[in-house]
Structure 1
């Protein structure tokens, strides 16, 4: 069987007639099972049999790796049945050693959320949407402590916001900021930069912050930076 040929291990499968599902772990499972955080994502009707596919992801050094998969026939599944299948799958992962989870990241899928709460009772936090984290109050002095090139006087004024002609970011500069975000998103210790050099995570952090800061400072984008 292909699963065993590639060192995947079948861990969970249906035993009832008319209900089809099976789950398996990858070679990365034993490496990442001590993680305190996992990410669960699902796709629907993307394969020839119309099965739902659930992927369990773990992170190492900023990169994501697939730890386990679950295929579920969605032709006759209501949310109650789906929750029970997921709970059984999560329980099999727990019994196999994935029992240190504190953070469970998923989308707004009620079945996944309910099933996870039944298995990992120690969950402290769950991200149930794909939105960006809430912003925090900007402190220029704290930023300067991390990066000395940041001017502590470069911060927004509330008086500007109250002006009727206030513009958060000029239209002609918005695309430049998006391009910088995309550039920084693809920086990784395992991927060489344009000069062929490999940067460690702290170097990537500094390079990204400095490049964005310089752009905002040059264009006086105080609110964008903060």
Structure 2
């Protein structure tokens, strides 16, 4: 947070986060990117890394596509303890998505892997937008399951 607070306020914006016991999070968005492309953005994607540093923070990234370009929009670092209430990370990600929604009014699609937290947060904030599985994750899923050396599940068309 110290580095973010010292950064040029024209470049980044610290995203306001609700505070909650058992969770530590900080987020920032790239103001110039959103300011320049916000109205054009109709598709965002989210992904996360798992415990990227010694402090155990996960990193969530929100990126967009506009004008044939990949655009980083916002980043969130989050960690929880055993005292965090259920859904704490979901609510944290919702804070970030609400910030994006205010600045990007035309979002119609969201791509992600099968991370239920990301899917739930997106559905809560962008009620009418459609969620899709990322193409890379879909192909990977198919390759993994087609490579399994096991018979297919039994199927009986008479059962509903």
Q: How many equivalent residue pairs?
A: 132
1:77-106 CA-partner distances (Å, limit 9, x unpaired): 5762222222222122223x1232111000
1:105-144 CA-partner distances (Å, limit 9, x unpaired): 0000111111111111121342266124xxxxxxxxxxxx
1:170-206 CA-partner distances (Å, limit 9, x unpaired): xxxxxxxxxxxxxxxxxxxxxxxxxxxxxxxxxxxxx
Q: Provide structure 2 residue ranges, at least 5 long, that are not aligned to the other structure.
A: 140-160
Native 8 Å contact 1:32 1:59 kept in 2: no
Change (3 A) 1:56 1:17: same
Alignment partner, residue 82 of structure 1: 89
Alignment partner, residue 5 of structure 1: 7
Native 8 Å contact 1:14 1:20 kept in 2: no
Give the number of the structure whose alpha-carbon radius of gyration is greater: 1
Q: Provide structure 1 residue ranges, at least 5 long, that are not aligned to the other structure.
A: 133-226
Shift of 1:50: 1.1
Between the two structures, name the one with larger relative contact order (CA 8 Å, sep ≥ 6). 2
Aligned alpha-carbon RMSD (Å): 2.4
Alignment partner, residue 64 of structure 1: 70
TM-score (norm 1): 0.51
